[in-house]
Structure 1
Amino acid sequence: MSESTRFTAGILLITVVTIAYGGLTLLTHLARRKAGYLDNPVRRGLWTAGHAHAGVLVLLALAVLPYVDAADLSDGGRTLVRTLFVAAPILMPLGFFLSVVRPSDTKPNKLIWLTVAGGASLSAGALLLGVSLL
């Protein structure tokens, strides 16, 4: 495993703590029947989606890291693929969370586009890595 991949894996593993904290926060909102969360289906749905995407995308990024080192890419190409896979679990959840920050928000604001940026990052990283492995 390259030094860059090991470092990236370390950063991703540390983010698992923040995802666990987010899950605890969501459970607290449910248990305490916090106004603006439980009674706001849009906010509840987007925050749940943000939490789920964060966890799944971090695991996916960790799973693909060994393949980045095995890919037929230059050092710059490997850095780009690592960056794209790390950006997705940051951008997507941010879009879900920040698009309905206020408890009174009943529709997402323009920050929902961060989810699209995260999806584009994930797609580009997966395509580059997949093609380079063939």
Structure 2
Amino acid sequence: MNPVLTIVVGITVLTVVTIASGGVFLLRILTGHQGANDLQKSFFRAGHAHAGVLVTLGVLLATLTAVVDASPGWAAAGAIAVLVAAIFIPAGFFLSVLGQNPAKPGPMFASIWIGAACLVVGLVISGITVINAGVAAL
């Protein structure tokens, strides 16, 4: 695996601690120990779920591309783009509904779209990189 990608994956694994603490925060909201309106509850749930799934997907892609002996640069680019999405998408969900009883998402909602673009780019790069490695191995 590319050394830079190895470092990024290691850092990513450590960030799972923040996802776990986000789960504790979400549990406090859902049990009524922390106030939140319905919009905030649904956005916090979505942010937490996207964080966990996208971090897992990014680590999976880094591992998959290393296993198939894909081009190290492209493998790193694809996995890192997905991991960037794992930052932007949850951030958009969480930060767009901060405040006292928001009625609609705020301007940070744009972060979700930026993250979605990073996700698509990362998936396309990773998919093509894995296919190329398979074709090269024929």
Q: So what's the TM-score if we normalise by structure 1? A: 0.87
Deviation at 1:84, TM superposition (A): 0.5
What runs of 5+ residues in structure 2 fail to find an aligned partner? 132-138
Q: Which residue of 2 aligns with 1:133?
A: 130
| RMSD over equivalenced CA pairs, Å | 1.7
Equivalent in 88, 91, 95 of residue 88 of structure 2: 91
In structure 1, C-alpha distance between the alignment counterparts of 2:12 and 2:27, rounded to whole Å: 23
Contact kept in structure 1, 2:85 and 2:119, CA below 8 Å: yes
Contact 1:43-1:103 within 8 A present in 2 as well: no
- Kindly indicate whether residue 41 of structure 2 is the aligned counterpart of residue 44 of structure 1: yes
Contact 1:68 1:81 in 2 (8 A): no
| Alpha-carbon shift at residue 79 of structure 1 (Å) | 3.8
- Check if 1:14 corresponds to 2:20: no
- Judged with a 3 Å threshold, the aligned counterparts in structure 2 of structure 1 residues 3 and 107 are, in CA distance, closer, same or farther, namely same
Equivalences, count: 130
Give the match for residue 135 of structure 2. Answer: none
Q: Within 5 A, what are the aligned runs for 1:1-134?
A: 1-35=1-35, 37=36, 40-69=37-66, 70=68, 72-73=70-71, 75=73, 77-134=74-131
Unaligned runs of 5+ in 1: none
Give the TM-score of the pair, scaled to structure 2. 0.84
